[in-house]
């Protein structure tokens, strides 16, 4: 029986030695992982800080743009021009639309219009229009 006890003791000693060796390896790996983890955490913190700063800059830019847009909106004035001749009246917008319709009816494209000028002749009761500085492009009755 002494041999079995000796073999058991030897097995226990070997198991202790293997366990101690494994524990040292695990400890070394854990320490290495902790060091790498700390480095990763530091790198992540730097990245997060940069992203936060960038987001703050973009937010500031958006706020400035919104403020500028509001200021531009406040400065905009709504205007309306109404022309009255004898018994007829028409707004400038209406006359512009009629000139565009007349231009299109003559087979021209609205996309060709870069500049449109209207001339209202009260004596004749006519509206003359010029497209792109082309002399007398067309006319219609007021």
- Mean pLDDT of the region 29-39: 72
pTM (two decimals): 0.45
Checking if the pLDDT of 2 tops 60, the result is no
**What pLDDT score was predicted for residue 45?**
66
**Residues pairing with 137 in the sheet:** none
Burial (CB count <10 Å: 0-12, 13-18, 19+), residue 139: middle
Q: How far is CA 119 from the centre of its chain?
A: 43
CB proximity list for 132: less than 8 A, separation 6 or greater: 112, 113, 114, 115
pLDDT over 70 at 65, yes or no: yes
Q: Please say whether the beta carbons of 107 and 89 come within 8 A.
A: no
Q: How far apart are CA 74 and CA 65, in angstroms?
A: 14
């Amino acid at each position: 029986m002494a041999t079995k006890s000796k073999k058991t003791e030897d097995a226990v000693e070997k198991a202790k030695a293997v366990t101690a060796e494994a524990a040292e390896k695990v400890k070394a790996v854990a320490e290495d992982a902790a060091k790498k983890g700390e480095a990763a955490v530091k790198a992540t913190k730097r990245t997060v800080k940069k992203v936060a700063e960038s987001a703050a800059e973009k937010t500031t830019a958006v706020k400035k743009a919104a403020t500028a847009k509001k200021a531009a909106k406040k400065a905009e004035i709504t205007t309306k021009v109404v022309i009255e001749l004898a018994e007829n009246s028409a707004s400038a917008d209406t006359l512009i639309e009629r000139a565009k319709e007349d231009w299109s009816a003559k087979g021209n494209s609205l996309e060709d219009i870069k500049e449109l000028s209207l001339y209202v002749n009260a004596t004749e009761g006519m509206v003359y229009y010029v497209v792109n500085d082309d002399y007398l492009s067309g006319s219609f009755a007021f």
